[in-house]
Amino acid sequence: GDSVTQTEGQVALSEEDFLTIHCNYSASGYPALFWYVQYPGEGPQFLFRASRDKEKGSSRGFEATYDKGTTSFHLRKASVQESDSAVYYCALGPSGYNKLTFGKGTVLLVSP
């Protein structure tokens, strides 16, 4: 079945550091790929999506590029802030179905 693997369970950075959270997927065809963010005490919220090979999604300084060759959708940000501390989820939506498969999430801790 479809699956999403996030390599890092937790990432600890200082403000202004560069962020990469790795996401790889396994699915047939061309699934849509997503990043969601969850702040403490809240439900997850949509960050951005990409639907085809080489498409870049971006929002709030975060970005990721759909790479079908490496089945990846890695999240990057050039300079993180303490307010970016949250849990980040990569997800995929198989074509033709309105449901998502989420990765296990990555906890990002940014210290001032």
Partner 1 sequence: EAAVTQSPRNKVAVTGGKVTLSCNQTNNHNNMYWYRQDTGHGLRLIHYSYGAGSTEKGDIPDGYKASRPSQENFSLILELATPSQTSVYFCASGDSSYEQYFGPGTRLTVL
Could you give the CA distance from residue 60 to residue 95 in angstroms, rounded to a whole number?
A: 26
Closest distance to partner 1 from the beta carbon of 107 (Å): 10
Of 56 and 104, which has the nearer Cβ to partner 1? 104
Of 18 and 60, which has the nearer Cβ to partner 1? 60
Of 99 and 112, which has the nearer Cβ to partner 1? 99
User: Distance of alpha carbon 5 from its chain centroid, rounded?
Assistant: 10
Could you give the CA distance from residue 95 to residue 29 in angstroms, rounded to a whole number?
A: 7
If we measure between CA atoms, which residue out of 87, 73, 3 comes closest to residue 44?
A: 87
Which residues are near partner 1 by CB under 8 A? 32, 34, 41-46, 49, 89, 93, 98-105
